[in-house]
Chains A and B, each alone.
Chain A
């Protein structure tokens, strides 16, 4: 817009030099197609979240730390599972009756929306690995009716799950005996790009936020 204003000013000045004034309506008439043109040229890009450092002239962005978990099929899931893939991730537990079922019904929408996108995967971590065994996660995914190829439900050492939540994904996940279900955790969905960088954070309990996520996935795939 700023650029456009500048151009308009130049245009105006030129014409003043030429010795006549343009009526405002004429300017507006010119402005409309011009604005459309400039908007269609502008390519939307998602921000890169987290801390960044300078290494010489290169910017080093925050990326997800190495991890190793087990999914509902007992398969090992690591960063390599998401090599050259975009993924959406969250933290939950199966016996939760507060926000998790809402998150899962919203994540199911993401699952449906990305059905024909082979480069998009989903990753849900349990924050109650003692209760949520591989067998239980398998049953959960099966009852939800989703494919393990596209949606990994993982469990692992409690400490590593909590640590990756807090340090890699900036999500809140911890035990808290005073909470009704024994845990506090955020209902956030994080969007991770093909380089392991966080490109968006969304409230996974809100439909509008998840609509925004689905839109952002399409933008990210254009990169």
Chain B
């Protein structure tokens, strides 16, 4: 392989990586904006929640174990008791019905990566699949 080929190959590689990274960054940045508009008032900017009023999202086992249901409740809201990181919460959460599949994917990409944890980005396919199975209250 001559020098030129190396340059082209590494260029292609970088291009490929950055385009995936770019998409992640886009989702993450947009997700942060949406999070701060719709979620952070209660769940707080650092995702820690508030007392036993608003559950934490950072490191939330509930989110991990009820991933599809969480997508539904972001859009349609929820009520009743849930347990998050060993604490019982029981305040109704209003949904944000205007959120699109893309916006939900962006917010979830932000939530699952913002506070020290690293996950794959959440895709449009995942959120649209989840929304199909929702039972809007």
Contacts and interface: CB of A to CB of B under 8 A. Distances in A.
Interface of A: 95, 97-102, 104-105, 108, 140, 142-145
Contact of A99 (B41, B44, B52): B41
A105 B94 contact: no
Nearest to A102: B41
A97 B52 CA distance: 16
B41 A145 contact: no
A128 B118 CA distance: 41
A104 to B, nearest CB: 7
Residue of B41, B42, B91 with most partner-chain A CB within 10 A? B41
B54 interface: yes
Contacts of B42: 97, 101
A104 B53 CA distance: 11
A105 B49 CA distance: 9
Given A97-B41, A104-B53, 17 more contacts: A95-B92, A97-B42, A97-B94, A98-B41, A100-B41, A101-B42, A101-B54, A102-B41, A105-B44, A105-B50, A108-B51, A140-B53, A142-B52, A143-B53, A144-B50, A144-B51, A145-B52
Nearest to B89: A143
Contacts of B44: 101, 105
Contacts of A101: 41-42, 44, 50, 53-54
13 contacts: A97-B41, A97-B42, A97-B94, A98-B41, A99-B41, A101-B53, A101-B54, A108-B51, A142-B52, A143-B53, A144-B50, A144-B52, A145-B51
Nearest to B94: A97
Contact of B50 (A98, A99, A108, A142): A108
Contacts of A97: 41-42, 94
Residue of A97, A100, A142 with most partner-chain B CB within 10 A? A97
Interface in B83-97: 91-92, 94
Contact of A144 (B41, B53, B92, B94): B53
Nearest to A99: B41
Interface string B49-69: 011111000000000000000
Contacts of B52: 142-145
A98 B92 CA distance: 15
A67 B42 CA distance: 31
Contacts of A104: 50, 53
A139 to B, nearest CB: 8
Residue of A95, A143, A145 with most partner-chain B CB within 10 A? A143
Residue of B51, B52, B54, B91 with most partner-chain A CB within 10 A? B51
A144 B54 CA distance: 9
